[in-house]
Structure formats: structure tokens, C-alpha cells
Amino acid sequence: MTDFALSLNAVHRRFRQGTNELVVLKDAEFHMVPGEMVALVAPSGSGKSTLLHIAGLLERPNEGDVLVAGRSCGQMEDKARTAMRRASIGFVYQFHHLLPELSALENVMMPQLILGVGQKAASERAMELLDYMRIGPRAEHRPGELSGGEQQRVAIARAVSNSPQVLLADEPTGNLDPSTSDHVFGSLKSLVRQSGVAALIATHNHDLAAQMDRAVTLDGGRVVPLDLSVDPAR
Ligand SMILES: Nc1ncnc2c1ncn2[C@@H]1O[C@H](COP(=O)(O)OP(=O)(O)OP(=O)(O)O)[C@@H](O)[C@H]1O
């Protein structure tokens, strides 16, 4: 049997909107193997954030299960789910969400310190990642002193600092100009390859999506393959 980094099994997610019930995910099945990079390309309102929140153990499905590194998380109680999320999942958002009063290095150390890693080991790991993302020389700078591309590099380094099995990103380069976006995406891609994390990346950028291993979309609440070469929006 394949060891999946992430599995969504028959996931349903419904929201109550007034007297109506909105079904956002319906029998959604999705699996990723370690080291895989998958683009999530879907129209606004189709459920991308909902899918990322459920995959990231931030929200529970109404039905179905989410397995991270083979461990069933659907029925986990909140404390165990939070611990699982901190240890096994990394998040990158469109806006970096770095802590403004901390340096780049301290921001990247933070998830490790929360997990109980010692200062020295956390600092060495953070520095290694900042070097890998080619911003080592900016390690002591605060986010406000960094460019948009540099801030996203720090956010990516922070997301993988705990060596998660799953990396979830929502428009990680959506706030950057095209050239910076290409450079940051290139670094993200090599980091995914080098670390073996499974990365699910929501993007509206078809050129970036085409550089990933495969693309999926949401159709009537299901996760289905997307063939970018025949996508009419291209
Ligand atoms: N907590 C909630 N309560 C009620 N409805 C919700 C809730 N969260 C999301 N929805 C609805 O579910 C649908 C999917 O939302 P979601 O945010 O997942 O879409 P999306 O594809 O990420 O959109 P966008 O690209 O615009 O962020 C939307 O119609 C939204 O209004």
C-alpha cells in the first residue's frame, strides 16, 4: 500500500447559511504522496480555503476522515489535533503573517520553540533554512525591513521548519510581481523536492500550476484532476 502524506477520505463539509445548507465539499477524495507538488486551481467560492482548512486540521469535516502521514485525524480531540497540526503541517499564506517584532531568524525558530526544540538547535535549523532560501544575510532583520519576496521566503522557511509531512499554501506568491513570484516559487519548489514534504498549493497562476506535478480543481464539491492544457481559462 502506498504511504500517503495526506489523504482525504469521503470528506463532506456543509455550512448553514440562514435557513439554507451550503454543501462545499461532497464526498471529496484526495491523496498526496511525499515530495509531491499539487496545484489547486479553482474559481473563487468553490471551496479552496475550506479544503485547505480541513487538510490542515483547522476545521473538521462533517463526515469523512483526514489522514496525515497515515494517522487518522477526523475523530481526534482538539488537543491531539492541535499537536498533530503543529508537528506535521506547515502553512504559507498570500500575506506572510510574520510576527513584526521578531527578526527573520526568530520567526523561523518560533514553530520549533513551540514544539519544545532547544534554542541552539532551533536557531541552527532556522539559519540553514534561511540560507537555503537565499536570505541568510537578512536573518537579523525584522519583516518590515525586508522586501515582499524576502518576507515570503521567510514565511516559507518558517512553514517547513518543523519538517512537516504536509505543506499547505494559499496563493503563496499572489502578492508578488511576476519576476519575484517566479524566483520565490523556484526556491519553494526546490525546498519541496529536497525535504520530501507533500505540498498542496492553491493558485490562480496557471504558469506556476503547470510547473507542479499535477493540478486538481473542485467540481461540485469533489476534488478532480485538472488538465491545464485544455483549461479554457488559460
Ligand atoms: N464558516 C462559514 N460559514 C458559512 N459559509 C461559509 C463558511 N466558510 C465558507 N463558507 C462558504 O463556502 C463557500 C466556499 O468558501 P471558500 O472560502 O472555501 O471558497 P474559496 O474557493 O476559497 O474562495 P476564495 O478563492 O474567494 O477565497 C463560499 O460560498 C463561502 O461563502
Reference 87, options 146, 17, 162, 11; nearest CA is 162
Say what the pLDDT of residue 74 is: 85
* Chain mean position to CA 189: 12
What pLDDT score was predicted for residue 232? 55
Which of 15, 26, 205, 218 to probe ligand 1 with, by most ligand atoms within 8 A of CB?
15
**pLDDT for res 5:** 97
Q: What is the mean pLDDT of each run of 10 residues along the chain (234 residues)?
A: 88 93 96 96 93 95 95 91 95 90 97 96 97 95 96 95 96 90 93 94 94 96 91 53
d(CA 162, CA 85): 11
Atom of ligand 1 nearest to the CA of 47: 18
Query: Whole-prediction pTM value?
Result: 0.94
Q: Return the residue matching grid coordinates 510581481.
A: 177
pLDDT of residue 121: 97
Pocket of ligand 1 (CB under 6 A): 15, 17, 22, 24, 42, 44-50
All domains of the chain in start order, with CATH: 6-228 (3.40.50.300)
pLDDT value for 118: 97
Q: Is 135 exposed, middle or buried (0-12, 13-18, 19+ CB in 10 A)?
A: buried
